[in-house]
Each structure stands twice: as C-alpha cells, then as structure tokens.
Structure 1
Amino acid sequence: MLLPAVAASRLVLVPFRLSAARRISSLKVPWKRDPALDAAIARDRRFLQASRLVREVLLSPGRRLLFRYLTKRRERIKLPVHVPTFLKRYPTLLAVSAPPEPVASPSPHLLAFLDFASRLYELHAPLLASRLAKLLMISSTRALPVTKIAAAKRYFGLPDDFLASLVPRYPGLFRLVGDPGPDASGNAFLELVAWDDELAKSVIEAKADKEADVVGIRPRPNFTVKLPKGFYLKKEMREWVRDWLELPYISPYADASGLHPASPEAEKRSIGVLHEVLSLTVERRMAVPIIGKFCDEYRLPNAFANAFTRHPGIFYVSLKGGIKTAVLREAYDENGELIDRDPMLELKERFVAIMEEGHKQYLEDLKRKREALQKDREDAGRQDAKAEIEDRVEEEWHSEASEGDDDTDDAYRQ
C-alpha cells in the first residue's frame, strides 16, 4: 500500500568516541582469492561479449545494422576476436545477409528469445518496479539521474526501455523529470512520488521478521559473516569486527545525515547500503565502478571500495574480467552457485542456451570438416602409396628386363 511521501526516520545515536576504536581507514585486511566465486564470474565472459554484440544490433534502427559497421565496433564491445569469427562460433545469435552489402539482424533464435523476454518482463513488472523504487528510496534525495540507472540496469534485471515500458505503468511511484533522450543519456532524473513503508525494509530486516514469525522472537537484525575456508583475521581485526557487529543495525532507508563520516556507525550504515544494493541485483554481484556512480546519492565515502575488502566475511571482490566485481558472499554456496534464484535470471539462462546451441552446431561442423580433411589426406596417402608401389614395380620390371637383355647379349656373343 502506497503511503503519502514522508521523510525517512532520522537516526538518534549515542555520540561515538574516536579514541575508543582505531580509525577505520587504518584497518588492513589481506585480500584472498576465492576460486569458486572467481569461476562463477569467469563463466560469464562469453555471455557478456555476446550480449554486448547483440545489443549493438538491437539498439540500431529497425534492429538492422550494416555488417561493416558492426565489425568496426569490436574494440568498443571488447571482443577478443574479429566479429565474423565470433559469429561463426555462435551462429544462432545474428543473421547476416548475403553480399555485396551484408546486414546483421536478429536470428530466428534471437527473435524467439526477445519474445520470451517481453513476456518475462511483463510477468515480473511489479517486482522490477519495487526494485527500482527501493533504489530511489536509498538515495538521500529520493531521486537518481537516469544516466546512472541506465548504466546499472542490467544488474537489476531492468529492460533496456524501462523508461518507456516500466516507469509509466506506475505513476504513483515514479516521476520522470527532464528529457532523457532516445538513449537515456540526457539530463533527466527519476524521482520517487510516494514513500512506501513496506518497501523501506532491507533484506536483513525482512530476514529478522521472517525468523520472528517462526520462533516468536525477533532477533536483532545484523549481517551474516561467512569467512571463506583458510581465511584468517588478526586478533586486532577480529576484535574490531566483533565490536562493530555489536553496533545497532542501520537501515539503508533511514536518514543517516547526522552520522559522522569517520564513525563506526557510518561504516555500518555504508555496509548496509552496499549489502542492500547487491541484494537487489539479479546475481547478487555488481561491478565496483558502477556502484561508485551512486556515491553522492547514497552518501557513500569516496573510498567505499575499501569496505569490501575490510569485511571479507560479508563481501568478496573478484578481479576476473579485468574489472573489480563486488560479490555478496552469503548469496553463494561453496561451489560458487547462487543459493536463491532471482526470477530474472531465466533471461540469462535462455540466452546462454541459444549460444550453446549455436556453438555446438559450430563444433559439429568443425568436426565434420576435420574428418573430411583427414579422409582426403588418407585417400591422398593411399593414392600416393599406390603410385609409389606402381613406380617401384615398374622400376623393378625395367631392372629385370635390362638384366635379361644383358644375358641375351652375352648368349649371342658366345
């Protein structure tokens, strides 16, 4: 139920003592590689390359793009190979017309996927709307620049055209101010129209409420700390984390403007914001530079990225793919698999299935070509062997004939 817009509750905290704890910035925790989580991110490499390539075509007028233009965008979409080579390996993604002026367009497989995606977005529109509203509610201004939302839309499962297909359906939640332009790069903001107390509840708070329904007593909301195997914290850091966890949980939806930026409470609030943002993503992970775009609106410190490594039991930072990715550790099992599936994850799985079908076809064609080439070589080898035998027989025949002639000559001489 939507309620009239109200200000978030202001925090009233006991003044902290800087002398009672070490400065947060001085706390150092060594980074330790997590192979399972790294592998989970590495598996997405081809998917991300293919999705960027396909998006170039889908965002073109009429979903058609001259193939020569597409090939020139290889560096922009970060393909490790030439575009024609990539499409040969994944032939079910795009259809390319015949020369002299080939044009790239969606393949039949991709068109079927787009139809499925449209239905899935329609089915989960309420979920996506609440997710978008939560992102606005975390903002200190209850608004976000459209350019920043567009940069992060993939992580939250929002459709490319969310400004046209999602936002207008919920006028009681969203207001678009300014002109975003056709590619959402204009000077525009998305504002929250009305505050919703039901949405202003973090994942951690919702978990505490759920436990209260089961056991009858609501536990104190707090973070789940899940240190990886073999990870060791020095005594000084263990004591700091213990004391820090004892501090009251600060909701990311609460007004924390009164917090001292260097206080442990401010650190707890920042971790709460980062935890909630990652919890709202489809795969419970997000590129650190994209998170950094929201620092001003979410009141995050400039060195917010250090918080990920300072709390290794809550987050993990992967360096795979040439970019830092923040991962919510509790969302994954020991094998690097998501524990709870987000409904929008089905989009990625369908797309990957299309890729794998095409790649399987490519490998089968490659195998047939290799077998045919091997057969040709074997046939050529047999032909060469046969010719060599014939040459040898003929040579031997000539040799015997020559010897016979010599014997005949000797007989005549006698």
Structure 2
Amino acid sequence: MFFQSHTISTCFNESRSSIGIRVWYQFTASISSLKVVWRKDQKLDQAIENDKVWRQCAKVVKEVLNEPGHVIPLRYLEKRRERLRLPIKIQTFLSRNPGLFEVYYDRIKPKTEPVKFLRVSDRLQRVLDEEERIYLENEPLIVAKLCKLLMMAKNNVVNAEKLVHVKREFGFPNDFMVNLIPKYPEYFKLIGSPGEGNSFLELVSWNPIFARSVIEQRADEESKLTGIKIRPSFNWKLPNGFLIRKEMREWIRDWMELPYISPYDDASNLDQASREMEKRTVGVFHELLSLSLYKRIPVPILGKFTEEYRFSNAFSSVFTRHSGIFYMSLKGGIKTAMLREAYKGNELIARDPLLEINDNFIELLDEGHEQREEQLKLQKQAVQNDTELVAMRNNTLNDLELTESEEFYSS
C-alpha cells in the first residue's frame, strides 16, 4: 500500500505507552494551521555535536589557506579569534591540535624583527593533496548534484552566489564555479561573473537519469526485488515517546495517500496552499537533504532558496508538521533540518563518497590528539621520575646522616 501503515501503526502503539509526552495540533482545512509542538531528539542533536570540534579546526585551517602562500603571522590569526569564534588563544589551539601547522620565524617587513608565522604542516598538505584526488574521482557525482539542484529550481536557474554559499553542505570544491562549471558546457551556462552578486547558473540540457528522486529510486529498487510495482512513498517513523492524536493521525494518513509528486516535476500549476503543493515541498526538502553530505542543512540556508524552489514564507513549519520524516534541531542556537531516515542513532546510515575528505581531516586531528596525549603522558612520567629521584636522594641523605650520627655516639 502507498501509505506504509506498518511503520506508522508501530510508532502510534509505542507512543500510547508513553507518559507525559504530547504533540498538540489544530486540525482545520488549512495546512498552515496544523500545529505540532517541537520535541528534542537527543541522538540527532548529538550527531551535530559530534562535528563541532573538527568544524572549528577546519575554520582555522581555511583562514590560513586563504592567505597568500598559505602562511600567516601568528599574531594576525590571534586578532581574528573573535571572528572565527575560537574560545581559546591560538597558541593553546596549536598545542591541542599538533600536526595542523608548523611554527617558524620570519619578518613581516624587511627591517622588522622576526616573529612567529604559521604554515601548513606536511601532514596537513598530504590531506589537502588527497582532497584533490577525491574531488576528481567523484566529479561525476558533483556534476549530478549540481544538475539536480538546477532541475528542481524554477526555470532551471539558481543564483550562482547562493550555490557557492552551500558548497560545504553539498561537498562542492571551493573553485567549482571557476574550474568545474566550464568543463561541462553541455550541462551548465554561467550568466554574469561570480562575485558580482548578480550571476546565475542555468541548466543547458535535461538529463532524465538525474530526474529520479531518492524516493523514486528506492521504489524502483524495491519493485525489482519483489517483482511487484511499488508506489513511491516517504518513510514516516516517529521516535519513541511521541503521542499523536487521532485526528492528526488521520490527516497524516490522508496526506500520505496522495500521489507522490517528484521534485523534478513542474509545479507551476499547483496552488501554494494545497495539500499537493505540500507534498511537492516535502519532496523537494527530502531530495535536498538527501543530496547533502550529512543529510542535514541549516534552515536559514534553505531559506535563501525560497524563490528558486517555490517555498512559502512559513516553510520551516514543514519540518515539525512532518516530524516523522524530518527533525529540526536547535543545537548551537541554529535551526537545522535533518532527514530522520538517514540516521541510526547519531550515526549516518549511508555515507556520501565525498565524506572521505572530512574523514581524512578528522583522522589527522585524531593523530594529533593522540600525539598530544602521548606527550602529556611522557611529561607526567618525567615529573614522576624526577619526584622519585629527589625522594631517593633525600632518603639517601637521611640514611647517611643517621649512619654518621650512630657512628658518632658509638665512638
């Protein structure tokens, strides 16, 4: 059946057994009036928390890489701590993360005294070189993602600056607009110049292979396995502890029974306030999150594409209204839309190939942390050895004094 009743009913039965946890609603004909109270999901929040340390380190690395020659005076970087939101001094940051940079002395001006500079370490440079290989190896994936973003957009055009702004979310190279786009004139046409604030990326040709959403691909795969035609549908699974009232449950079932509308289909004829448009909007968000590296995107970033993807001004309510599909995290004071089905606990189920870049960087950080722990352990052992040596010397001196005293009295 189009509506996956076995998943929903299981969640509802589990929800009835919970005490004191409620999801309230207002059931009217208007979609916008359907209210669902947000509830914290600690496991999905933890997924965001797990990335906090390496993302902070990546900011500092990026700051150095943006400098000419990839070098910077340490004191200059110290002055930028507030902008980088780094809560510790740069010297402390370096000691906690050995392996990222090398410290050396150089002159800022010819006749000035040498000062401390930072440059990329050999280990970090190897990670950066490996990054280039991974990007090249996954170039077809990146091209497909870009095509899909354009194919879902109104008139198949997206503001180029907005795409540059979301490059981290989707795993695009820093220079993709300059070095990648010109390599594929059969797919892309750049109107205007990037950086001028009024440039656009336009789709040149429509590839029907790219016009299959994750939902549709999943239905195709299930159809092949079972030999039965499976209708595309969303996976709806609420976390344990949610309580949904009967009327809201019925609304969800009715909405789920509506035919799936592909985010790649033309939606210009749909009424913005209709359930069908809501179906299409949920499909677009599901596809956008599926294309992202971590299957999550900050809500303010999604809001930048309101015009391109025909989102309503109150689009963020979709994430709480369809809390069996999405979760909206408030971790770090930023609303982040997450795809529930993409996670098991706080871990991603299927990993994007481009995540190898981040994995290599995290591995480098872990090696540095292990190195620091070993250094601290050696320092602690050295202090302990010195303490024991001093104690032994004191004991020896005491023994000598005692022996001399005994000899004096015995004589």
Superposed displacement of residue 141, structure 1: 2.9
- How does 1:60-209 map onto structure 2 within 5 Å? 60-98=67-105, 100-181=114-195, 186-209=197-220
Superposed displacement of residue 215, structure 1: 2.7
| Alignment correspondent of 2:356 | 346
Residue type of the alignment partner of 2:346: G
2:288 equivalent to 1:281: no
2:301 equivalent to 1:290: yes
- How does 1:221-260 map onto structure 2 within 5 Å? 221-260=232-271
Question: 2:247 is paired with a residue of what secondary structure?
Answer: helix
Superposed displacement of residue 384, structure 1: 5.6
Q: How many residue pairs are counted as aligned between the two chains?
A: 378
From 363, 367, 375, give the equivalent of 1:357.
367
Whole-angstrom distance in 2 between the partners of 1:93 and 1:235 = 56
Residue type of the alignment partner of 1:104: L
Whole-angstrom distance in 2 between the partners of 1:187 and 1:378 = 71
| Alignment correspondent of 2:272 | 261
- How does 1:324-343 map onto structure 2 within 5 Å? 324-333=335-344, 335-343=345-353
2:377 equivalent to 1:370: no
Question: 1:75 is paired with a residue of what secondary structure?
Answer: helix
Whole-angstrom distance in 1 between the partners of 2:352 and 2:238 = 24
| Alignment correspondent of 2:22 | none
Q: Which runs of 5+ in 1 are unaligned?
A: 1-19, 402-414
1:381-402 deviations in Å (ceiling 9; x for gaps)? 555666678889999999x89x
Cα RMSD over matched residues? 2.4
TM-aligned CA distance change 1:148 to 1:386, over 3 Å: same
Q: Judge conservation of contact 1:45–1:321 (CA < 8 Å) in 2.
A: no
Whole-angstrom distance in 2 between the partners of 1:149 and 1:395 = 87
Residue type of the alignment partner of 2:119: S
Residue type of the alignment partner of 2:160: V
1:280-324 deviations in Å (ceiling 9; x for gaps)? 011211111111111111111122111111111101122223322
Superposed displacement of residue 52, structure 1: 0.9
Superposed displacement of residue 45, structure 1: 0.7
Q: Judge conservation of contact 2:46–2:346 (CA < 8 Å) in 1.
A: yes
| Alignment correspondent of 2:58 | 51
Whole-angstrom distance in 1 between the partners of 2:268 and 2:184 = 29
1:92-144 deviations in Å (ceiling 9; x for gaps)? 11222136322222111111111111111111111100101111111113121
Residue type of the alignment partner of 2:218: K
Residue type of the alignment partner of 2:152: I
Q: Percentage identity across aligned positions?
A: 49
Q: Judge conservation of contact 2:28–2:34 (CA < 8 Å) in 1.
A: no
Question: 2:84 is paired with a residue of what secondary structure?
Answer: coil
Question: 1:286 is paired with a residue of what secondary structure?
Answer: strand
Residue type of the alignment partner of 1:150: V
Question: 2:360 is paired with a residue of what secondary structure?
Answer: helix
TM-aligned CA distance change 1:89 to 1:165, over 3 Å: same
Q: Which runs of 5+ in 2 are unaligned?
A: 1-26, 107-113
Deviates further, 307-316 or 95-104: 95-104
Whole-angstrom distance in 1 between the partners of 2:159 and 2:395 = 75
- Using structure 2 for the length normalisation, give the TM-score: 0.85
Q: Judge conservation of contact 2:289–2:297 (CA < 8 Å) in 1.
A: yes
Whole-angstrom distance in 2 between the partners of 1:143 and 1:59 = 29
